[in-house]
């Protein structure tokens, strides 16, 4: 069976128990399916990525007993791939530059329609200010700016692939127990996600764009990751349809929380894998603690 999964951490802090859970789950699933487990370093945010955190990722995963083919894919080496996809989306008329800052967005979104959610996977749902402005411009006069974030016109993208708007297979579950075949609808995309940023300022890409291109280029068949990314999966599946890329199967898993029920974050050093190691725990102790 063709089964390939991956773990895709960002080298911006220490891996904690939640990362250990995600990586080990993906690794075990690949092993039990006779498949392959790949590692990818998500380091597009060069202001936060650090070489020593990347090294720590390799050390922690190796200590946990995981192995992966080398060399690993590193996003910082793939900027031309992201640029090509942005060119394509731009030429399809699906992107527009956005000059709004956080304050502008919060102010414009402060009078939401009743029954329409205020927040999506990337924070406040963008109210479309710059999209409306662009309509008044002559596109012939307009060159794509390099240093301004680009947003996806999500309603237009959904319309473009409407007749083949895909659903995705969820083998795990979303935060509200969503599982099985999860359909995408244009209304849902517009109302609960909105026009997300696909090229961040000074970065030339974004998590959403890179993850879609990287999963496709690595031939990932099963994406194993935390439930916090379940909603973002709708964006990824839409982009796969627009860019003619295959949609993998998704396995969203429960989140590992601290004693107060809060999801672990990189700053929770106490749960860092290296800390457990220093305190004399074994990889099996970690597996036991995670119920694996």
Binding flag, residue 245, ligand GLU (CB under 6 A):
no
Shortest distance (Å) from residue 234 CB to ligand GLU: 13
Tell me which residue of 65, 49, 26, 63 sits closest to 222, measured CA to CA. 26
CA–CA separation, 71 and 261 (whole Å): 37
Task: Give 16 or 156: the residue with its C-beta nearer to ligand GLU.
Answer: 16
The β-bridge relationship of strands 197-199 and 150-152 is: antiparallel
Contact 184, 159 (CB under 8 A): no
109 alpha carbon, distance to own chain's centre: 24
Write out the binding residues for ligand GLU, residues 40-59 only, by CB under 6 A: 42
Q: Which helix (H) or strand (E) holds 167?
A: strand 167-170
Contact 266, 239 (CB under 8 A): no
Q: Site mask, ligand GLU, residues 215-234, x = CB under 6 A? A: ----------x---x-----
Task: Give 39 or 152: the residue with its C-beta nearer to ligand GLU.
Answer: 39
Task: Give 56 or 153: the residue with its C-beta nearer to ligand GLU.
Answer: 56
Binding flag, residue 30, ligand GLU (CB under 6 A):
no
> Which residues 6+ apart lie within 8 Å of 49 measured at CB?
10, 11, 12, 43, 76
Task: Give 9 or 121: the residue with its C-beta nearer to ligand GLU.
Answer: 9
Binding flag, residue 10, ligand GLU (CB under 6 A):
yes
Binding flag, residue 211, ligand GLU (CB under 6 A):
yes
Task: Give 10 or 205: the residue with its C-beta nearer to ligand GLU.
Answer: 10
Write out the binding residues for ligand GLU, residues 133-152 only, by CB under 6 A: none
Binding flag, residue 8, ligand GLU (CB under 6 A):
yes
At residue 192, the 3 state secondary structure works out as helix
Instruction: Please give the residue ranges that form the binding site for ligand GLU (CB under 6 A).
Output: 8-10, 42, 211, 225, 229
């Amino acid at each position: 069976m063709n089964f390939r999964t991956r773990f895709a951490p960002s080298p911006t802090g220490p891996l904690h128990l939640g990362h250990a859970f995600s990586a080990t789950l993906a690794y075990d699933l690949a092993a039990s399916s006779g498949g392959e487990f790949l590692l990818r370093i998500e380091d597009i945010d060069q202001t936060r990525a650090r070489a020593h955190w990347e090294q720590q990722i390799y050390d922690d995963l190796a200590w946990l007993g995981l192995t992966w083919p080398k060399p690993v894919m590193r996003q910082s080496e793939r900027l031309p791939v992201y640029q090509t996809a942005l060119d394509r989306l731009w030429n399809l008329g699906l992107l527009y530059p956005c000059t709004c800052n956080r304050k502008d967005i919060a102010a414009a979104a402060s009078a939401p329609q009743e029954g329409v959610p205020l927040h999506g996977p990337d924070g406040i749902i963008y109210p479309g200010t710059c999209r409306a402005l662009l309509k008044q411009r002559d596109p012939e006069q307009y060159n794509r700016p390099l240093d301004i974030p680009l947003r996806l016109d999500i309603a237009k993208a959904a319309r473009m692939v409407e007749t083949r708007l895909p659903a995705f297979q969820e083998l795990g579950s979303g935060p509200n127990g969503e599982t099985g075949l999860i359909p995408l609808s244009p209304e849902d995309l517009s109302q609960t996600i909105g026009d997300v940023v696909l090229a961040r300022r000074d970065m030339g890409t974004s998590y959403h764009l890179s993850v879609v291109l990287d999963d496709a280029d690595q031939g990932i068949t099963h994406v194993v990751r935390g439930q916090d990314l379940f909603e973002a999966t709708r964006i990824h599946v839409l982009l796969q349809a627009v860019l003619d890329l295959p949609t993998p199967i998704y396995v969203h898993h429960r989140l590992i929380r601290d004693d107060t029920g809060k999801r672990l974050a990189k700053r929770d050093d106490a749960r860092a894998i290296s800390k457990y190691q220093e305190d004399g725990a074994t990889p099996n102790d970690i597996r036991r603690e995670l119920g694996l």
